[in-house]
Copies of this chain bind each other. A is one copy, B any other.
Amino acid sequence: MEKSLTLKLAVLLYDGFELLDVFGPLEVFGQCDNQFEISLIGENEIIQAYQGQRLVTDYKLDDNTEKFDVILVPGGLGSRQQIYSSKLGDWLIKHNQAAQYILSVCTGAVFLAQYGLLSNKRATTNKMAMDWVMEFGENIHWQKKARWVVDGQIWTSSGVSAGIDMSLAFVAELFGFEYAKAVADKIEYVWNADSDCDPFYLHGL
């Protein structure tokens, strides 16, 4: 491994988040020999996924938490309402300052767009929701054909399952390709390690 410091990773949850947007990446990060210390953050103690399951958060948005090294923002149909609440945005703006990396999956990118994190950057999002997401933010170079996009500290993935591929690539960036491949093999996941290989480009646009 190239780094060995534990990274504090926060997942920004909200009611109506998409299950796999969160648990695909957390499966990957959770298999990295405790290299990630994972916290769930949300407005309330209980946050409900779009599919109905309820998660217990580790911290509320108002809590005076430590700094986080990595922030993961999931998508989900709940983002259609939550984007008009400033609470998630306030938290994101505050914690963006200290974070080394910001990751979004699927329509999670809409929060990054709305709160200025994607200005003058390349980014991507869910295929079928791209027209909606593109209404937010300014001067964003949206990539319609990409499994995921890296621009500086910002990693954005396409829809749902693409978050798993991106998370493995993020692990490869931190700890090396062989380490990431071993994680993929351990969870018996066929990793698409090429961000330009986007099998769903033709489906949604």
Binding site for B on A (CB under 8 A): 18-20, 22-24, 26-27, 30, 38, 40, 46, 49-56, 126-128, 158-162, 185-190, 192, 199-200, 203
A-B contact pairs, 8 of them (CB 8 A): A19-B30, A20-B187, A22-B23, A23-B24, A127-B188, A159-B186, A161-B187, A188-B203
Report the separation of the CA atoms of residues A201 and B92 in the bound assembly, to the nearest whole angstrom. 43
Q: What is the CA–CA distance of A102 and B152 in the complex, to the nearest angstrom?
A: 46
Taking a contact as CB atoms closer than 8 A, the residue among B30, B53, B126 that contacts A26 in the complex is B53
| Chain B positions within 8 Å of A38 at CB level | 51-53
Which residues in B have their C-beta under 8 angstroms from that of A23? 19-20, 22-24, 27
Q: A187-B159, A188-B162, A200-B185 are contacts. A55–B54 as well, Cβ < 8 Å?
A: yes
Partner of A55, one of B55, B162, B203: B55
B26 and A18 contacting across the interface, CB-CB below 8 Å: no
Taken together, the copies of this chain in the complex come to 2
From the candidates B20, B56, B127, name the one contacting A56 in the complex (CB within 8 A): B56
- Give Cα A25 to B4, complex, Å: 33
Q: How far is the CA of A40 from the CA of B24 in the complex (A)?
A: 19
Q: Which of A52, A187, A188, A199 has the most CB of B within 10 A?
A: A188
| Selected contact of A50 from candidates B30, B50, B55, B56, CB within 8 Å | B30
* Distance in angstroms between the alpha carbons of A48 and B173 in the assembled complex: 29
**In the complex, which residues of chain B have a beta carbon less than 8 angstroms from the beta carbon of A200?**
185, 188
Q: Which residue of B lies closest to A182 (CB)?
A: B203
The list of the 6 closest CB pairs from A to B, nearest first, reads A30-B51, A23-B23, A54-B56, A20-B27, A159-B188, A161-B189
